[in-house]
Structure formats: C-alpha cells, structure tokens
A = this chain, B = another copy of it.
C-alpha cells in the first residue's frame, strides 16, 4: 500500500485534527502517502481531496473541529454513489481509507468494505456511544467543557440560591450527563439509561433545603427530555421554580484535552498500521488503556453501555 485516504464524517469532535495528524505522520513514517478527503463522504463521492504532507498537519493538534470538514451526504446511501467514490479513489491510487467519525460513519465505511475498499474506523464523537471502545475521541474535552460551564452556573446558583436545570448532549447515551454530573457535584442527574424518579429529585432538593442548602443543579441528557419540560414538571408537581440552560453546540468545540489528543494520536496511528497489515473492516478502540481493534460490524450488534456504578455513586455523594 503506497497511498491511503482519510476523511472525517458526522458531527465534529475535538481531537479529529489530532487523529488526522497521526494518520498522516504515521503513514509518512512508513513511506505511505495520505490524501485528505474533504467534506466526508461527499468529498469521497466527488473526489475532492488533496495530498497532506508533514507540514500540512503541523500546528493542528491543538485545534478543535476538523481541518477536512464534515457534512451530511444523503446520496452516499445509494450504491451508485458509493461505487462512484470507489472509482475516484482508484483513479487517485488510494488503496485504503481511514474513516474518523461516529457509528453512522462506520456504517458507511462498512458498506465500502463490501465493495472492496479497505476501510478502518476511528471512533470520534463527543457522545462516547460507540460499542467497542471505552472512550471516543472528543468525549473528554466535551466533558471538561460541560463541567466548566456548570462550575460557572453554580457560581450564580449559589449566589442567588436558585435551582438550575442544565441540558447536555446525549440522545441515547448518558455518558456526558453522567460523568459531568458526578464531576460537577450535581444534585440530580437524568440519563436515558436509567428511569428517572421525579419524587426522588424533589425529595433531594427538599432535603438540601432542610439543611440550609438552597441551590441545586440538575443535569438532564437531551435524549430524555428538554430542560424546559422538566422545569414545567417540577413547577406543576412541587411548585419549584427553576432556571434552565441548554448548553448546545459549545459542547462540540474547543481545543482538545491532553487525554483526547493522546487517544486520537494512538488510534489514528493504529488505523494506519492495520491498513498496512492488510486488514479491512476493522475499527480501532481503547480497552483497558490498550489500543486494539475489532470488527466494524460490532456497531450493528453491540451497544455501548454507560457505567451505571457512576450513577449510583453520584446519588450517594449528592445526599
């Protein structure tokens, strides 16, 4: 293999640039050229790409977002376009592809492997919801962004003795809510993986009040319900006034944390090794701090599980 491609796809996450850098440098280290494909699968279909040399990935390890851009590409679902993209790769002499993204991106990669293109997936999404890896690239940074935002809101909550409901990202996976809730000392955390109990939330608030603690922070993952709905429920059921903040897209951006940069470097480099070893249809991941690889199809069968021991601990520590 003398030339490979790399693309980023799906929602961007901090550390994608560090992963791109690792792919390029590791490949170059082994004498392999790397083409950066722009705008995810859209660029793949259209052959929008450019040679990335050592210098072109200099100074990007600390940058949020993705230098290669990302975009949704509905056409890519059609086989005809997939084949067109593969043709473009062939024309350019690209023999393998590293796909950096979430599980939607991995599904796309899997389709391509069925059509004969060697593909390796690198898990990057702030949601930490990919089965097969304990951590995804971007999760740690998003977590720090969320926790730092909650710290700021707590300043106001404490000063005004108010209750705040903070809505964080996570449609099916509660990891951001769970970890940030524990890290920020939230009084209650609501995640998709566990049924919530409105009475318990109210009880906790009243218990705090009884010992003269008048402010409270409740974290809710967007997948369970919007913060505004919870606010209404608390008002109707217990007459409790709350203020809400929806953290939104600030969760996706920012300079990646040290942990995410190291993870991205390791996973990106390993993806290149796999291609050079002649592997395909694999994804890389981290398990017990070791880089390893697994079948891309695991995303169809396995499901990421939140560590619910953190949920229990969070409840115990916010008595």
Which A residues are closer than 8 A to B by beta carbons? 8, 11-12, 14, 16, 21-22, 25-26, 28-29, 39, 54-55, 58-59, 61-66, 69-71, 134, 140, 143-149, 151-156, 158-161, 164, 179-180, 182-185, 211-213, 243-250, 252-255, 257-259, 261-262, 265-266, 269, 288-289, 307, 310, 313, 316-319
Q: Report the separation of the CA atoms of residues A259 and B69 in the bound assembly, to the nearest whole angstrom.
A: 28
B211 close to A55 (CB less than 8 A): yes
> Which residues from B are CB-within-8-Å of A21?
185, 317
Given contacts A143-B258, A316-B269, contact A58 B156 (CB under 8 A): no
Q: Report the separation of the CA atoms of residues A185 and B58 in the bound assembly, to the nearest whole angstrom.
A: 9
> Which residues from B are CB-within-8-Å of A28?
319
Q: Report the separation of the CA atoms of residues A145 and B148 in the bound assembly, to the nearest whole angstrom.
A: 11
Q: Report the separation of the CA atoms of residues A254 and B149 in the bound assembly, to the nearest whole angstrom.
A: 8
A158 close to B262 (CB less than 8 A): no
- Can you list 9 residue pairs at the A/B interface with Cβ under 8 Å? A12-B159, A59-B154, A69-B161, A143-B258, A152-B253, A180-B258, A262-B310, A265-B317, A266-B313
B213 close to A262 (CB less than 8 A): no
B22 close to A144 (CB less than 8 A): no
B152 close to A145 (CB less than 8 A): yes
A317 close to B22 (CB less than 8 A): yes
Q: Report the separation of the CA atoms of residues A147 and B160 in the bound assembly, to the nearest whole angstrom.
A: 25
B160 close to A12 (CB less than 8 A): yes
Q: Report the separation of the CA atoms of residues A245 and B58 in the bound assembly, to the nearest whole angstrom.
A: 22
Given contacts A69-B160, A160-B69, A248-B246, contact A62 B25 (CB under 8 A): no
